[in-house]
Amino acid sequence: MGEENWAVAGCLRRVQGVRSIVSEQDKTKRGPEVVKLQILIRKDWRNEEGINRIRDLLRDLRIDFIDAGQATLSAEMPAADFQELFGTGSVKIEPQGPGESDFGRSGGYAAGELAVPAQLRPYVESISVPPPHIRM
């Protein structure tokens, strides 16, 4: 692991202590219909300061921060608010049982290309809806 990667890993460990992971109580208040989001951070903001700024902006947009990786953030938001924020709809995907070559698929949502909200553009390269998981 290069020196830069060690610095990022250390930053993420420090941020871990202040993560705002959504509680089960919050999920109950919001309802079960949430769209998962993957947020790609611009390279210059892949540090503790950048993650904290993005988290604050996500809160203002009613997006719940879930976790931070080296270059991405995981988040979620109510499906009902998705179209209002991104100007496009999402399609619900139901879970699937086991098939011939896998053990099924989790449910979730799908969406086309998403425009990054203006207040996030200085810090965020892109936002996407991850595909449901295939259980192997």
| Any domain includes 134 | no
Residue-wise pLDDT for 57-70, tens only, equals 999 999 999 999 99
Averaged confidence pLDDT in the chain: 80
Residue-wise pLDDT for 47-56, tens only, equals 999 999 999 9
Measured distance CA(79)–CA(35) in Å, rounded = 5
Sign of CA dihedral 121, 39, 111, 66: negative
**pLDDT score for 7:** 43
| Any domain includes 82 | yes
Instruction: Say what the pTM is.
Output: 0.72
Query: Which pair of tokens denotes residue 48?
Result: 């503790």
Would you say residue 23 has pLDDT above 70? no
| Any domain includes 64 | yes
32 pLDDT tier (thresholds 50, 70, 90): low
The number of domains in the chain is 1
Residue-wise pLDDT for 88-123, tens only, equals 888 888 877 888 877 877 778 889 899 999 999 999
Would you say residue 4 has pLDDT above 70? no
Helix or strand run (H / E) with residue 81: helix 79-86
Measured distance CA(34)–CA(27) in Å, rounded = 9
Q: What range defines the domain where residue 44 resides? A: 3-128
| Any domain includes 133 | no
